[in-house]
Structure 1
């Protein structure tokens, strides 16, 4: 890997779900590596707060959009290109998790998990990929989950959606193998994010456990007995988007403290 100070200078990265959590950590890492970054998300206030936190001196653009709506996606990507130029890197990070026993998983919950986690990835990739192929360079990283590699109880819809993201990743990597575009997935385990806290609150509400007990129960399932930090996921993403990582494609890399091997 190159040791230059700004290895992603002249590269434009789009990060969906960039306003908080893993997306915000990835955005910070890419900015620190010299990239121009467009943040996409539904909450314009969160995006703007993240832009200010990253620093006004950096080339950062905010494009509010719901990744499940095709017209939103097309508008956001057009805005990104107008503001910061051709898109070289796409990080499909926008996602949502909701728990329910299978018997209580109604069609609405099922469709939400598919729409946000899988269809959003599909729509954003379609918006970015053709120009990447035309220019002969592109890096697409899909933020999946260990739920896309193994199963977890009470999150059937989420697991199905994330398994779909990994399937999309593998198939598209083969289609683009000779184009200069790579397509990979990172698969974090439970990560210290607002999404994790929401999951813990659901456990507390359904079981009557304390928040500390719920955290401890999830951590015991991890060989390292801890949650993943967002920066650890961001570091893996940085490696995958580097120009020198051109031979790595079609992979689903587990970032899980050994939970998935």
Structure 2
């Protein structure tokens, strides 16, 4: 990327999202970090501002289209037209298939799949007008290999991959690329919560089964996002870029 652009990152207050925010800030871009965690959002935004970053923290529920539309209006007013979107916000939980209620299923779909729909669709007018755009979705290895006790999560993330590939075909003529990154095991607060709850194995145990024997980091995912958003990736679209240390090869 040859100049500062406006980047939107959902789920930007912690974990993978925060890593992505930091990476784009380091590249000199104006970044809107969207999240539901208001206190954490303000805390991290203050740190980045102290480092000279141009940051706009916004409390947003990606499952609510009005919330997205209101946030994007503020982004356009304060930072400018949206050029890059990283649809990262999501939730995960472990629950056996027989115990998934309709409400639990719907919440997972609303946040992890419909949230991506809202996040991407609302940004398209800016990208079409500019004749340039980069859309990066964060899916999951669970969508590729399946996941024990997380059928609803895997289903939603599979939908993200299908949505990404379809949009890549539909938007290519407008100068917009659309790609997805499906992380596997990443050291994040969400992983820590799962470990503490006993629903996720310790990362050092999982690392023994990864060809590159360590968990991923938010910066590993952020580096891939930087590439996919770059001019160097202008001929890359509709791709599933697995950043997983070789845990899933397919």
Class of the TM-score when normalised by the shorter of the 2 chains: over 0.9
- Contact 2:82-2:127 within 8 A present in 1 as well: yes
Q: For residue 18 of structure 2, what is the aligned residue in structure 1? A: 24
How many angstroms does 1:98 deviate by?
A: 0.7
Distance 1:220 1:105, change over 3 A: farther
Distance 1:100 1:55, change over 3 A: same
Match of 1:52 among 46, 49, 57: 46
| 2:190 counterpart SS class | helix
Q: Check if 1:103 corresponds to 2:91.
A: no
Q: Check if 1:229 corresponds to 2:217.
A: yes
Match of 1:219 among 198, 201, 207: 207
Q: For residue 233 of structure 2, what is the aligned residue in structure 1? A: 245
Larger CA deviation: 179-188 vs 218-227: 218-227
Distance 1:59 1:9 in 2: 14
- Contact 2:203-2:215 within 8 A present in 1 as well: no
Distance 2:158 2:83 in 1: 25
Instruction: Specify every segment of 5 or more residues in structure 1 that has no aligned partner in the other structure, as ranges.
Output: 1-6
What number of residue pairs does the alignment pair up? 248
TM-score by length of 1: 0.91
How many angstroms does 1:8 deviate by?
A: 5.5
- Contact 2:187-2:203 within 8 A present in 1 as well: no
Distance 2:81 2:75 in 1: 8
Q: RMSD between aligned alpha carbons?
A: 1.5
Q: Check if 1:139 corresponds to 2:134.
A: yes
Distance 1:115 1:26 in 2: 23
Match of 2:185 among 186, 190, 195: 190
Match of 1:38 among 14, 32, 37: 32
String of CA shifts for 1:218-247, please: whole Å, max 9, x gaps: 333322232111110000000000122110
String of CA shifts for 1:193-224, please: whole Å, max 9, x gaps: 0111122233x2x6xxxx8x643443333222
Instruction: Specify every segment of 5 or more residues in structure 2 that has no aligned partner in the other structure, as ranges.
Output: none
Distance 1:199 1:105 in 2: 18
How many angstroms does 1:51 deviate by?
A: 1.0
Q: For residue 78 of structure 1, what is the aligned residue in structure 2? A: 73
String of CA shifts for 1:54-91, please: whole Å, max 9, x gaps: 13422111111100011101101111111100000001
TM-score by length of 2: 0.95
How many angstroms does 1:11 deviate by?
A: 0.4
